[in-house]
Copies of this chain bind each other. A is one copy, B any other.
Amino acid sequence: MKLAIAQLNPTVGDIAGNAQQILSAAEQAAQQGVRLLLTPELSLCGYPPRDLLLRPGFIALMRQRLDWLARELPAGLAALVGLAENNPQAATAGEKPLFNSMALLENGRVQAVFHKRLLPTYDVFDEDRYFESGTAPNHFTLTEATGATVQIGVTICEDLWNDADFWGQRAYAINPTAEVVAAGVDLVVNLSASPYVVGKQRLREDLIRHAVEQHRCPIVYVNQVGGNDDLIFDGYSVAVSRQGELACRAPGFQPALEILDFDPVQSDLSRAQTHPLPSAPEAEIWSALVLGVQDYARKCGFSKAVMGLSGGIDSALVCAIAAAALGPEQVLGVLMPSPYSSEHSIADAAELAQNLGVSTETLKIELLMRDYDSVLRALFAGTEAGVAEENLQSRIRGNLLMAIANKFGHLLLSTGNKSEMAVGYCTLYGDMNGGLAVIADLPKTKVYALCRWLNRQAKAGEPLGKLPVRRPATEVIPEHILIKPPSAELKPGQVDQDSLPAYDVLDDILERLIQQHQSAAEIVAAGYDVAVVEKVVRLISRAEFKRRQAPPVLKVTDRAFGLGWRMPIASRWSLDVAASQPAAAV
């Protein structure tokens, strides 16, 4: 019996377009004799639909398209299609209004609807906001043309993730996988929309293999692919046979239709196509960010991007990502030197643009700096030049970039990294401007690592998205950008380390604060200077107002700034510095 994994890239909210994608996959699958098509979680509306789910018209439209799809599906093909369904007993039982469901379509009709049981409500996930949990194990019988039957257990994304034995602790009271296996199924399918985080695919495969071994039941895991705002779905759908062997792995970061064979006699999956995993974390992150930019642009209706090129490493990396995502001819880099810009900055930016094949414009900002000063002279009389004047330079550049974006319909990409977003070493309404913050979940040290990887790939002549392979193969990020001390160049001789700890120190402290939720006392106990730690905690807390107004941040770690980071502003979270000190000192 043939199964197909439809690793789809839906646009959130585009129900008609997503239904058409499912139908096209179904038609291709039917031509190959497939009996059952598997699509990702909420495949009709795309994941995450967020507050679109609060609109009854949106729910009604999904059901309408589902019925249409049931009628249009090729004869002989069954399909599992994801949608949000009304919960009819919500008002009487005091439950949430919707279910996160998978509908089984066959013979022109909706044959069954299965409800997700475990609803993630942490990080970027808000499923308890909308959905009620399903109460019963989900399974059905599929009959082959020969009359043979296969019992299939249906789990939806998180349903697979409460494996107490794997994690060493439970995250939910029930284990839906164990429940469907106990019901006697031959095969478990897990239909997911699981966002990318660095290293996550290895974790997923370990988890799936562990579940297969524990339950002695093959599992087919289907993931969504594509960028939806801040979230990047990496695909890599996999099937694991009853023996715990990888029977199939779809490619990462691209749509795919993978055909699997399930043998009802052996009651197992046969070996099919297996695409490799990325060779290094940098390779994954690169592919994720390229896809994130590509899909954000496409789904918002942009074909071209613009960004400032400072000659620094952050804008260099963002420019390379944009060129790989959209094509170099679709990218405009804008050099905006001031009197504080070094010669090498301009030369480095120009060399980068040439390496990448992107066009550039140069707009000098000195005149604007002078005239802002003259407009503000009387008001600022007697004050020292400082942060206000430095920020003005950044904001002049931000305005010029937005003027270009508005004039030509380009998407402005912001170029800040996670380290500077964390401590507020960036200018709100200046260099933070943009529709998408491409590398704002990458700490500065990781920005360097990714650029070095990129240069190695380029020198080895490896393909890099839509970047042309250069002959002879050479680096793309000019070496000088990688070795010079980082500087915002907002005053003469300025370097980042005038204001911040060394980036390896800063990034480790930030990782402890942001990802590991360590208190300042714990970080000090790990060997860091108390004054440095307290400074970083103070900076991160005070920069919350900037982060609140940042563009969506492409997420590549398990704790990114954006919708999964919900911190108060008018607040004092620096106070937990004192958590391990004597009460009298608080």
Contact = CB atoms under 8 A, between A and B. Distances in A.
Interface of A: 11-17, 46, 48-52, 54-58, 60-61, 64-65, 68, 91-95, 121-122, 126, 128-129, 162, 164, 169-174, 227-229, 295-296, 299-300, 361, 363-365, 367-368, 371-372, 374-376, 379-380, 383, 386-389, 391-392, 395-396, 398-400, 402-404, 406-407, 428-429, 433, 435, 517-522, 545, 548-552, 563, 565-573, 575-576, 578-580, 583, 586
Given A300-B569, A571-B52, A91 B169 contact: yes
A429 B433 contact: yes
B94 A519 contact: no
B162 A61 contact: no
Contact of A14 (B95, B121, B128, B572): B572
B61 A575 contact: yes
A361 B379 contact: yes
B392 A399 contact: yes
A550 B549 CA distance: 6
B61 A92 contact: no
A108 to B, nearest CB: 15
Contacts of A68: 583
A163 to B, nearest CB: 11
Contacts of A520: 57
Contact of A94 (B126, B173, B398): B173
A551 B129 CA distance: 23
Contacts of A402: 391, 395, 428-429
B11 A571 contact: yes
B403 A392 contact: yes
B363 A300 contact: no
Contact of A371 (B46, B170, B371, B567): B371
B391 A363 contact: no
- From A229, A365, A521, name the one whose CB has the most chain B CB atoms within 10 angstroms: A229
12 contacts: A11-B571, A12-B568, A12-B572, A14-B575, A16-B575, A17-B572, A52-B573, A57-B519, A58-B575, A61-B578, A128-B129, A398-B429
A368 B370 CA distance: 10
Contacts of A364: 375
- From A93, A521, A586, name the one whose CB has the most chain B CB atoms within 10 angstroms: A586
A94 B170 contact: yes
- From A379, A392, A578, name the one whose CB has the most chain B CB atoms within 10 angstroms: A379
A401 to B, nearest CB: 10
B13 A52 contact: no
Contacts of A371: 367-368, 371
Given A52-B567, A60-B580, 4 more contacts: A50-B566, A52-B576, A56-B519, A402-B428
Contacts of A568: 12-13, 48-50, 52, 228-229
- From A368, A403, A519, name the one whose CB has the most chain B CB atoms within 10 angstroms: A403
A586 B567 CA distance: 40
Contacts of A94: 162, 164, 169-174
Contacts of A379: 361, 363, 404, 407
A407 B429 contact: no
Contact of A579 (B61, B173, B374, B548): B61
A570 B399 contact: no
Contacts of A48: 568
Contacts of A169: 91-92, 94
B300 A228 contact: no
Contact of A299 (B174, B428, B567, B570): B570
B57 A571 contact: no
Please list the 3 inter-chain residue pairs (A to B) with the smallest Cβ-Cβ separation, ordered nearest first.
A57-B519, A94-B170, A57-B579
Contacts of A365: 375
Contacts of A519: 55-57, 60
B11 A572 contact: yes
A162 B91 CA distance: 11
A555 to B, nearest CB: 14
Given A12-B568, A375-B364, A58 B573 contact: yes
A449 B299 CA distance: 40
Contact of A91 (B11, B170, B550): B170
Nearest to A582: B64
Nearest to A295: B570
Contacts of A58: 573, 575-576, 579
A428 B568 CA distance: 22
Contacts of A433: 429
A54 B399 contact: no
Contact of A400 (B372, B403, B428, B566): B372
Nearest to A60: B579
A204 B332 CA distance: 56
